[in-house]
Structure 1
Amino acid sequence: MKKTIINFLNAVVFLAALLGCGKSSDQHSFTLGDSTFMLDNKPYQIISGEIHYPRVPREAWRARMKMAKAMGLNTIGTYVFWNLHEPEKGKFDFSGNNDIAAFVKIAKEEGLWVILRPSPYVCAEWEFGGYPYWLQNEKGLEVRSREKQYLSEYKKYIDEIGKQLAPLQINHGGNILMVQVENEYGSYGADKVYLEMNRKMFLEAGFDGLLYTCDPEKDIVKGHLKGLMPAINGQDNPLKVKQAVRSLNQGKGPFFIAEWYPAWFDWWGTPHHKVPADQYTGKLDTVLKEGISINMYMFHGGSTRGFMNGANFRDSIPFEPQISSYDYDAPLDEAGNATEKFMKFREVIAKHLPKDYSLPQVPEAKPSMALTSIKFDKEIGIFDYMGAGKVNEDPLTFEDMNQAYGYMVYKTKIAGGKKAELKIDGLRDYGIVFIDGERKGTMDRRLGQEQTILDVPQGSHTLEIFVENMGRINFGPNLLKNKKGIIGDVTFGGKILKGWTMYGLPLDKVDVSKISAVKSQKKTPVLKLGSFDVVNPSDTYLDFRRWGKGVVWVNGHNLGKYWSIGPQQTIYLPAEWLKKGKNEIIILELNKPEANVLTGLEQPILDQVNNDK
């Protein structure tokens, strides 16, 4: 009899889980039971997957939600990204792909609940961990601390997020089940007063539903705030999950793995991370069988477009900027198609469903196409493209120039007649050195390169250093050391160089009118303009194996960066951003300005590393 009752309760739990938030009624309650979540006073198991709205074209949000339902998910998790919503101080943006409220509402329409993670710090392999660059211009400001300026800017931000999203909480008739306070704070600090300040600001912003914290097992005590629900990241042993949560929650549950990792992310110059599904199916089965709730990080990674990739850097590892693809070897691939991992996870989830419930059919894979060769008929060297500069005795950083991302050219005079070392005390992060417009060498922060030998002829010459911001650090103790450009002195033969002119190249938009039909004669970085025709817009992958290093725009959308060192060799171009007929393409190429033909593939190449020096 006891076994029959348990089986019945399990069936109720999983039926509720798979049915999701539903569409018939907005009146729901979501609370904590001693061992499970309680939805409308009935046991509820969250089966969630992370999707980040800016990493997916807005036009494809609904399709990704349908895929989530087809795998058996009942909930979607997402961060909220401060640097997207307040790119400049006091200027907020919730339009287009930044319309997080629309993302949440579409999830509701598709019968999915949402777990919201709106803390100012997200990590997420995202530029500066989600912080806007301009915080570094506030003298003395310290992120993730009680410092007054930080708390002031934080409050302004979270209040704006509250205006957008607090009304969408389940206790207000919406589909946001719960909201995360801070993010893996225990991996950074242990200030409980600071955590309490976070909680208070969330409440004042209108987030008055269920609040929780999440941390890796080794940091969960430091990162938890008494009174909030504790959740654990990266641990899927049911016994250890329950022990960790009970130790902080008066011996009770519910039990939630806030980040359950089915794979990992990639960075430039290292092999693509790929883990067979079979290594996870048993763990998923066990976790679900034990009634533990989960959020897969990631269910669908998508792409980190524009200049939004972050970087890792600690004393024990070199600078590691992440690639533009956020495929993550996730169940749903970068283009939103089901993988083998998706199908096997679906099978595991289906095992636990009531006999009278069946999952929706899996949508067919989207069609893809291989573009014919694109030839570029217009180009301009970057030194001819850049506008007026700013003069200063010493080099200025991106932040000094109020420039968030992109590139900058530093120019000064240099006395020749010797062969000596050019040294940059703080290159952030990739530099190309020119003398009188002639390329002389590169420096790469990843490799610890901040110097090169120059043989300069007699006389006065122009030194130009083209610098790329390859992404601010998003994790660890160096969050406060994230200024970009040249952050210290530049010396030649031991003598400090003075009298600099800085030319900002944010390239948030490219001025097409400047790109002429004249070919650049020197090996400087170059902007190239071309077009291609499409009959039936379909997904495609731009093949950059014969190119060097740069970034690409199609129809005004910055698709992200490419680099021949890999592992990513293609850039995903979604069908949603293509047009029938003529499409515009722009490329900034740093290292191979002679490249002039680009092709497309039907499938991505994400696993090819080259020893490109």
Structure 2
Amino acid sequence: MTNFTFGDTDFLLNGEPFRVLSGAIHYFRVHPDLWADRIQKARAMGLNTIETYVAWNAHEPKRGVWDVTGSNDLARFLDLVAEAGMHAIVRPGPYICAEWHNGGLPVWLTSIDGVGLRRSEPQYLAEVTRYLRQVYDIVAPRQIDRGGPVILVQIENEYGAYGSDKNYLRELVTVTRDSDITVPLTTIDQPTDAMLSDGSLPGVHLTASFGSRAVDRLATLREHQPTGPLMCAEFWDGWFDWWGSHHHVTSAEEAANELDALLGSGASVNFYMFHGGTNFGLTNGANHKGRYLPIATSYDYDAPLDEAGNPTEKYFAFRDVIARYAPVPAETPVVAPPAPAFEVALVVAGDWTPTVTAPEASARTSTSTSTNTSTPPTFEDLEQISALVLYEVDLPPMQRSELFEVDEVRDHAWVEVDGLPVGTLSRTLQQRSIVLPPGHTLTVLVEEQGRVNYAERIGEHKGLIGTPLLAGLPLEGWSATPIDVALLGQQADVAAPQSTPPYRASARSTLRGTFTLDASTDLFLDTSHWGKGYAFVNGFFLGRYWRTGPQQTLYVPGPVVRAGENSVVVVELERGTRDVARFVGTASLGHTEE
């Protein structure tokens, strides 16, 4: 039987010192047909371990509906790690941050009245216990002492940055051990005295997260972890992007020097990220440290392996450093040639006028429609887990234009009176009011742009928040209709095409085109000439696009594309400049600071 334990200064594999050289790959951010390729490329860089979070809300978006198929097949992912001759680290949270929607917590969970997130509150603990048991049913038989790849399991995630409820951490350890998890357990925190103290628990091994000043950070960790192996369980080798910013890149040379210092100190490492992947669909999170900033669709992260699985300069720089401390395979991955470049004409599959449209009307969930409420219901009230809600209200007689105000819009809204655009409200820009002309019906289409994945704003409600005012007086009698974005895309894929006028009647439209290829291949869909919306290829939900950038292309995984005829669908929320889908040879993730 193989065993994995802690020694005085090292990890021990069957009693022998073992350095963990790990890289993060989030299985839920990578097309499952590409898992084996990404794992093999990690091995070729010299890594011996793959680390992954487990995203609760990916597995259980609706309470009681547990999904372990397709991109959620954690068992298959771990089995592929084992087949590659590598070990695995599993981090099931329940909170994961990861710039992922709601920090990985399901919306139904954070909507429970009175629930106490990330602490020893009975409602929360009951749901967390049920969740962890389902995860550990997958992980337990795949532990190293049973012939599987799993060598470490993490308890919570950077908890010292959030709270200090030791009873909560103890409860997580108890359910973990009671679920037959026998491998060593770890915690992770940034290497400050307060965070390491608040986020740790006696008997659970401490690790740290950082991307610079490795020697100093490890010294701080050693003060709190007097014996046992030192490990940077998140070596930040890049960074993430958010809409309206620039594409973040870091120096390969400087990162390699930090890695050299870290390994030279005898520590183990997990690269965050080795391969970032993509926030497909509506899975991106958001940050809010004084300003709401939704995360982009690409999670390239400027990682050693880019979003399309190609090795970067950083990959080879890290490989050279690792070769000084451990054997590195002779094989090296190559960069794929440019993807096919071509254009596809798009035809209108349906306009989004506020009162009529077959695609929009059928994508609404009539059973969830709320009418005649004094205040607009939130997404949570409507049990809406997609991105759009259409609000409508009758306006009182108005002799002149009047000011319309809301407490807050979460997160972006398009305002119309009698079907004519008035303007937008934006949480990021802190726009909460707009002047309305006289009319009969006010329509406000609200988009949830991504749920905050960090700190106290996790689980906050979405929609029009508070009591809207018109000319200082409450505006009541609202109806609200959830719109399923994924269903919009699917319906447009099979809808009978309409003729495309020179100017569409509405800025909001669904458009479709077809193209033929000789073989399956990665593609890059250029979105720079569109406004804001969502894109699909062959029904696969690629994610969000937005002219504000920095991201200008959407990655289309090769397994989504087939030899023969393919379809592309665009759900446009604002008027773009061209009714054409343009595919380009390489990714364009936007300008950098330099």
**TM-score range, shorter-chain basis?**
over 0.9
Structure 1 match to 2:50? 76
Contact 1:136 1:399 in 2 (8 A): no
CA distance in 2, matches of 1:446, 1:366: 37
Contact 2:162 2:455 in 1 (8 A): yes
CA distance in 2, matches of 1:323, 1:594: 21
CA distance in 2, matches of 1:413, 1:571: 39
Local SS of the residue matching 2:401: strand
Local SS of the residue matching 1:60: helix
What per-residue deviation string (whole Å, max 9, x for no partner) do you get for residues 265-287 of structure 1?
A: 01010111111101111111121
CA distance in 2, matches of 1:366, 1:574: 13
Structure 1 match to 2:427? 445
Deviation larger for 491-500 or 91-100: 491-500
Structure 1 match to 2:220? 244
Distance 1:514 1:498, change over 3 A: farther
Deviation larger for 500-509 or 380-389: 380-389
Give the root-mean-square deviation of aligned CA atoms.
Answer: 1.7
Match runs of 1:36-435 below 5 Å: 36-218=10-192, 219-234=195-210, 237=213, 239-249=215-225, 251-314=226-289, 317-353=290-326, 357-382=327-352, 383=354, 384=357, 385-386=360-361, 387=364, 388=366, 389-393=369-373, 394-415=375-396, 416-435=398-417
CA distance in 2, matches of 1:472, 1:534: 37
CA distance in 1, matches of 2:68, 2:145: 23
Contact 1:515 1:527 in 2 (8 A): no
- What percent identity do the matched residue pairs reach? 36
Deviation larger for 287-296 or 504-513: 504-513
What per-residue deviation string (whole Å, max 9, x for no partner) do you get for residues 377-428 of structure 1?
A: 2321223222444313121111111111211100111133321211122211
Deviation larger for 507-516 or 407-416: 507-516
Cα deviation for residue 191 of structure 1 reads: 1.2
| Counterpart among 449, 452, 459 of residue 470 in structure 1 | 449
| Structure 1: stretches of 5+ with no match in the other structure | 1-26
CA distance in 2, matches of 1:59, 1:367: 20
What per-residue deviation string (whole Å, max 9, x for no partner) do you get for residues 159-205 of structure 1?
A: 11111111111122211010000000000001111111111111122
| Structure 2: stretches of 5+ with no match in the other structure | none
Amino acid of the structure 2 residue aligned with 1:391: T
Deviation larger for 68-77 or 601-610: 601-610
What per-residue deviation string (whole Å, max 9, x for no partner) do you get for residues 336-379 of structure 1?
A: 000011111111111223xxx55231122233423421111232
Which TM-score applies when normalising by structure 1? 0.91
Contact 2:294 2:449 in 1 (8 A): yes
CA distance in 1, matches of 2:214, 2:301: 24
Which TM-score applies when normalising by structure 2? 0.94
Local SS of the residue matching 1:511: helix
Structure 2 match to 1:501? 479
CA distance in 2, matches of 1:540, 1:499: 47
Match runs of 1:429-578 below 5 Å: 429-457=411-439, 461-480=440-459, 482-509=460-487, 510-512=490-492, 513=494, 516-517=497-498, 521-578=504-561
What per-residue deviation string (whole Å, max 9, x for no partner) do you get for residues 470-492 of structure 1?
A: 01100112224x21111212222
* Alignment coverage as a number of residue pairs: 574
Structure 2 match to 1:18? none
Local SS of the residue matching 2:437: strand
What per-residue deviation string (whole Å, max 9, x for no partner) do you get for residues 106-151 of structure 1?
A: 0110111111101110000000000001113311012101111111
CA distance in 2, matches of 1:228, 1:68: 28
Contact 2:210 2:217 in 1 (8 A): no
Amino acid of the structure 2 residue aligned with 1:602: G
CA distance in 2, matches of 1:392, 1:179: 50
Distance 1:261 1:601, change over 3 A: same
Distance 1:350 1:302, change over 3 A: same
